[in-house]
Every structure is written in structure tokens, then in C-alpha cells.
Amino acid sequence: MLVPAACAALAAGALGGGAAVAAPGVPAADHTLPKNTRFYVDPEAGAARQAVTDLKAGKVQDALRMAQLASWPQAIWLDYGTPAEIRKVVQRTMLAARATGTVPVFVLYNVTGRDCSFYSAGGADSPEEYRAWVQGVADGIGTGRAAVIVEPDGLALLPKDCPEGDPDGTRTEERYANVRAAVDIMEAEPKTSVYLDGGSSNWQPVGELAGRLLKANLAKTQGFALNVSNYQPTDQLNRYATWVSECVWYATAGPAEARGRTDACASQYYSPAAPNDGRPGNAVEFADPSTWKWTDAWFDQVVGAPPVKDLTHYVLDNSRNGQGAWVPPAGKYTDAEPWCNAPGRGIGVRPTANTGRPLADAYLYVKTIGESDGTCHRGTAGPVDPEYGIEDPAAGAWWPEFAHTLAANASPALTFNTGR
């Protein structure tokens, strides 16, 4: 689903050139999730079914881990159906959540032209069809409490970032318009917390992402989401998210000379505060978080300490980041696709709205744990994935072995959810 972090667009944006910053717009109502929020657990989730299958096969330890996983809340992905069909699906979930006193997390994943031509390509056929579909989701939620993540990769992977490009910018502007429309529709519901997806910390530079979020009407939402279906560690995500929030503030409420200048913000790839003299440790390197101190230094020196109440909130996907990101063997692949069914990974910190961080509204399991990212070839002719020795299941298909690996490598180790 996610393209490689080393895409050309990333490198081009690392030293500036952030998206044009739109006017902040009308701020959203405060839809911050209460710290005692309990998220909805789908009793029909893949892990629950796998636990039964494993138990019948006599695989007791695997069944135990799957049962433990099934006890934790995961997001409900909405990527199909007519407006009427999706409304009924959402209504059923809302009714089940209300009966258990929980809050569902929905993922909108149906924008026109999603995922370029990669493994999860697809989406609605037209903007009109997409907006009617989003309205169906909103009608299903109604006045109930829900969290909604809007279009994973929708902003981090714009049409202009796709291999075929977008020479006249028409499809890119259409994407922004569709995402803004989704925000307007979802924010019309009184108890819906809306988060724009922003990719992950190994993707767009801080200022580039801040600019894209603002252009998509970030100010009308509760905030943004990071790391959906990705593997970056929680501590690095929190640092990146804080920088993005402060960059948004700097470009919209900071000093006059900063207005509209998201491109001026230091990032996870470059900081003007670093010596940048070629000596080891004297420049920001994404792969070496110890050098991120230079980015912290720029924000401390230039942005200062904005009021926390004025900063944008966020949520993180910890579904597969317990072991951090996979680092492929050097030189082994022409395109290792480290985002695609990364081997040896594990489930991360459990879902909670009590994160201990003022800007982090929740840690979530957004990606369905155990579903494949696609038929990864890692730069080879395929169809076999050389890391697994098999042809991986199609994107979105349940993969028992992948689920078992993620559960076995969970950090912290999986336990049953006793708080639901």
C-alpha cells in the first residue's frame, strides 16, 4: 500500500518547496477523545477466526496469541460498496459499539485514484461518486461517537508523486478537493473525530507534509494520523508529529515573516541549525535519530514554545511497529520494498487514548494485523517474494503466517485486553 520511502518526491522536498499553505479556515469543534475512551473490538476480526482455526488444528500457542490479539481493538476499513451499502455497514458497527460502550475507528480508503498503480490501487470512479460514498459513511455514523481516518496515503502520495506524474496538476488538485470534501462531510457529524492521514515519518519532509495537510483543510479537523500500515517506531513518530504540529503553527500563527512558510521548517532530513560541514553527526540523517537533535534545535531556536492548546493533535498506528522498521540487507535488492510485508516485524504498543502526551490523542491499531500489503517482488521478476519464498497474498488478503509472526514478535508481548 505504501510506496518506498526513497521515492524521488521525498528527496526533492527535503530542502524545501512545501505545498502552498491555505488559509486556516474555520476551526473544528473540540473532538478530542477522552482519555478513558474504550475502542470498539470487532468480534468477527481475522484474528478471532484464526484463533478458532488454530485451536481446531491443535496449535494451542498460536491460538492463544490470536485470541489475545482478537481482544484488542482494530480499525474498520471502509473501501467498498454503494453509499447505501456502506451506510448500513457503518450503522451496524455503530449499534454494536453503542451496545458495548465503545468508540469505533473507521478508515476511509476509497478516494479516486488511490495508491497510484501500486498494490492497493482503486477507489471511486469519480469525485461525485466518492463524495456520495463519504456521505453514506457519515449518515451511518450519525450522532454517535466515532474516530475517522481520512484516506491513507491520500496526501502523502498525491497523483503528482506517482510514477506517471501529473503534468498539468489536474488530478492532484482533484485529490485535494476530494479530501477537503470528505473533511466537510465528516466534520458535519457532531461527535466524529476526523484525522487526515499524513503518511509516516520516513516519507514527506516535515514542511512538505504540513503544507499538504493545511491545503486539505487540516484546521477543520481534529488532527492528523501517522504510520498507517507502516513500521516506524513510536518514539520517532512522536518527534516527527510534534515537529509537524509546530510547523503548522509557525506557518499559520507564528511571526509575520513565517506565514505560509511551511517550507522553511527543519525536517527529519535537514536542519539549518546543524553545522552541515560534512563531519560525522553534524547533519541530520533520517536513519540516525541521534542526529535529530539538530531538528529539535531549529524548532527550539526559531519556533520556540508555542502554546500547547494551539497545536494540532494526532494519532499513531502502532499495529506493526513493535520491532521498528525493517532494514533490508545492503545491496541485496534493487527495490527492497521495505514497506511491503516487512519480515520479522511485530505488533507495537497497545491501543489507548491515554498516551501521556498532550498532542497524541490515541495510539491505535489501524492496519488490520495479519492482512497482506500485496504481492511484494522486491525488485525481482516475481511472482515469488524472495524474503518468504512464496507468492505473497494479494493486498488486503488474510495471511495466517504473517499474523502469527507479528503476534509472536509483539513488543510489549501480547496479553489479553482486560479493559474492554
Apex CA 122: angle with CA 177 and CA 399, to 5°?
130
- The predicted structure's pLDDT at residue 346: 99
Backbone angles phi, psi at 197, to 5 degrees: -70, 140
Q: What is the pLDDT of residues 43-67, one digit of tens each?
A: 999 999 999 999 999 999 999 999 9
| pLDDT tier, 16 (very low <50, low <70, confident <90, very high otherwise) | very low
- Grid cell digits, residue 16: 524545501
CA-nearest of 121, 148, 118, 120 to 136 is 148
Maximum Cα–Cα distance for the chain, whole Å? 67
Q: What is the pLDDT of residues 157-205, one digit of tens each?
A: 999 999 999 999 999 999 999 999 999 999 999 999 999 999 999 999 9
User: Using CA atoms, how far apart are residues 17 and 341, in angstroms rounded to an integer?
Assistant: 32
Question: Please, which residues have CB within 8 angstroms of residue 133's CB and are 6 or more apart in sequence?
Answer: 81, 82, 83, 86, 110, 124
- The predicted structure's pLDDT at residue 419: 83
The structural domains of the chain, with segments of one domain joined by +, span: 8-258+311-368
Other beta carbons less than 10 A from residue 362's beta carbon:
26
User: Using CA atoms, how far apart are residues 267 and 15, in angstroms rounded to an integer?
Assistant: 9
- Cα 374 from chain centre: 17
- The predicted structure's pLDDT at residue 94: 99
- The predicted structure's pLDDT at residue 12: 35
pLDDT at 19 over 80: no
pLDDT, the chain, mean: 93
| pLDDT tier, 116 (very low <50, low <70, confident <90, very high otherwise) | confident
Question: Please, which residues have CB within 8 angstroms of residue 168's CB and are 6 or more apart in sequence?
Answer: none
CATH number of 8-258+311-368: 3.20.20.40
- The predicted structure's pLDDT at residue 15: 36
Residues 269-282: b if buried by 16+ CB within 10 A, e if exposed: bbbbbbeeeeeeee
Q: What is the pLDDT of residues 139-156, one digit of tens each?
A: 999 999 999 999 999 999
| pLDDT tier, 420 (very low <50, low <70, confident <90, very high otherwise) | low
Which secondary structure element, helix H or strand E, spans residue 120, and what is its range? Answer: none
User: Using CA atoms, how far apart are residues 284 and 297, in angstroms rounded to an integer?
Assistant: 11
- Grid cell digits, residue 296: 529539535
Question: Is 266:272 a contact under the CB 8 Å cutoff?
Answer: yes
User: Using CA atoms, how far apart are residues 180 and 131, in angstroms rounded to an integer?
Assistant: 10
Sheet containing strand 146-150, edge to edge, reads 76-78, 105-108, 146-150, 192-197, 223-226, 313-317, 360-364
Question: Is 195:309 a contact under the CB 8 Å cutoff?
Answer: no
- The predicted structure's pLDDT at residue 259: 96
CA-nearest of 4, 7, 359, 3 to 195 is 359
CA-nearest of 287, 406, 269, 382 to 333 is 382
User: Using CA atoms, how far apart are residues 407 and 413, in angstroms rounded to an integer?
Assistant: 8
Apex CA 260: angle with CA 257 and CA 264, to 5°?
75
Between 113-122, 284-293, 369-378, 389-398, the lowest mean confidence (pLDDT) is in 113-122
pLDDT at 364 over 80: yes
